[in-house]
Amino acid sequence: MKNLDRESAWPIAAGLLSGAALDRVLPDPRRGHPVALYGRTAARLEQRVYEPSRARGAAFVLLAVAPVVAGGALAQARTSGAGRAVLTGAATWAVVGGAMLAREAEGVADALEAGDVPGARRRLPGLCGRDPESLDGKGIARATAESVAENTADAVVAPLLWGGLLGVPGLVGYRAANTLDAMVGHPSARYERFGWAAARLDDVANWAPARLTAALACAAAPVVGGSPSRALRVRVRDGARHPSPNAGHCEAAFAGALDVRLGGRNVYGSRGEDRPELGEGPHPGVVDIRRAVRLARVVNAAAAGVAAAVALAVGRSRTVGGAAPAGTPRSAPRGRCAGAAVRALAGPRAGRVS
């Protein structure tokens, strides 16, 4: 029984860890990335089914996500052992965007440090949807730090956690849902009704990952000179003040860990939002962008470890419960495939960004 348990669980755990490591060292291709390919396919589907109704939006989500999950499950059913570990690693690399997030944020910091505010403005749309022309250097630094906090959950922790729970179907299914949210889940006249289902699905899918991100950020606060107790206090006090049911917990935890103040007025095109401030310190500067990236990297590594542990625990529970282990052959053994979802080439593989 124990041998069967290890056989079913280790390929998923090993694949999650290796894929997360690959994200740090293997750059994303400029063309042909599976996330971007998926996004273009979903955009064509949207053109065919769009009507300003929630029912059409829900149908769009079902048609766009279900085949990705089914493909992941089918691939998972056709591999085992080392083959499954390799496939899981490839899928993890495809859907995790921590390195891209760090590169984009550090690029903004480089421009600000060089006094190139126009250059920083040009780079900001790779991270978030705010109007960069309305921001000065301090506003750009705040937008970047907030985007790092939120996208650490969306681009890294969430796909890893779903991968730990469900394997490749969880990895690619999450990324598909998150991409649809990035495409149609934002408030606008076109997507107010059509994008409702995508936005709600993303909220549900990110509920646990956002809170895990916040917990890990609080625990990792010392790596940026912060206090775990202060970070936890700010997160508990301010996390629910954000209009998003998930992003506020990540941003509040990062604000507490970095000892900065996030939130305030954001401008998206012609629409402005006044958001509650999170944290107690000064507004972030350029140095705090780099501190946020450092904190995010530690959170990412910890999340990979948590996801691997979850995969092992899930494999063990399935074996103990009497179900056929995921790695044991039936008529055909299980396996993995990669899939993904967009915003990747415009910014990190993430959903709605602050």
**DSSP readout, 106-173?**
HHHHHHHHTT-HHHHHHHGGGT--S-GGG--HHHHHHHHHHHHHHHHIIIIIHHHHHHHHHSHHHHHH
User: Which backbone phi and psi does 266 adopt, to 5 degrees?
Assistant: -120, 140
Q: How many whole angstroms separate alpha carbon 157 and alpha carbon 101?
A: 13
- Token pair recorded at residue 103: 């590169």
**320 three-state secondary structure:** helix
Residue 51 lies in a domain: yes
**Would you state the pLDDT for residue 341?**
34
Residue 344 lies in a domain: no
Residue 292 lies in a domain: yes
Structural domain range at position 30: 2-320
Residue 240 lies in a domain: yes
pTM score above 0.85: yes
Exposed / middle / buried, residue 300 (Cβ in 10 Å: 0-12, 13-18, 19+): buried
Q: How many whole angstroms separate alpha carbon 15 and alpha carbon 4?
A: 18
Please, are residues 207 and 278 in contact by the beta-carbon 8 Å criterion?
no
Our measurement of the distance from residue 340's CA atom to the centroid of its chain's CA atoms, rounded to an integer in Å, reads 12
Residue 242 lies in a domain: yes
Half-sphere exposure of 347 (CA within 13 A, CB side): 28
The β-bridge partners of 335 are: 76
**Would you state the pLDDT for residue 322?**
52
Half-sphere exposure of 225 (CA within 13 A, CB side): 8
**267 three-state secondary structure:** strand
**Would you state the pLDDT for residue 343?**
39
The β-bridge partners of 268 are: 271
Residue 299 lies in a domain: yes
The β-bridge partners of 267 are: 272
CB contact set of 84 (below 8 Å; sequence gap of 6+): 11, 12, 15, 76, 327, 334, 335, 336
- Total number of domains in the chain: 1
CA end-to-end distance (rounded Å), the chain: 47
Alpha helices in the chain (DSSP H): 2-25, 34-49, 54-76, 81-95, 98-113, 117-123, 137-152, 158-166, 168-184, 191-194, 196-219, 228-238, 247-258, 286-320
The β-bridge partners of 265 are: 274
Q: Report the mean per-residue pLDDT for the chain.
A: 88
Exposed / middle / buried, residue 189 (Cβ in 10 Å: 0-12, 13-18, 19+): exposed
pLDDT digits (tens, 9 = 90+) for 15-44: 999 999 999 998 888 788 899 999 999 999
**DSSP 8-class letter at 32:** -
Residues 335, 19, 224, 352, CA torsion sign:
negative
Residue 286 lies in a domain: yes
**Would you state the pLDDT for residue 320?**
58
- Provide the residue-wise pLDDT of the chain in tens; the chain has 354 residues: 344 345 678 999 999 999 999 999 988 887 888 999 999 999 999 999 999 999 999 999 999 999 999 999 999 999 999 999 999 999 999 999 999 999 999 999 999 999 999 999 999 988 887 888 888 999 999 999 999 999 999 999 999 999 999 999 999 999 999 999 999 998 888 999 999 999 999 999 999 999 999 999 999 999 999 999 999 999 999 999 988 899 999 999 999 999 999 998 776 666 767 788 999 989 999 999 999 999 999 999 999 999 999 999 998 876 555 544 444 443 333 333 333 333 333 334 444 445
pLDDT digits (tens, 9 = 90+) for 253-269: 999 999 999 998 776 66
Closest CA to 169 of 99, 100, 87, 97: 87
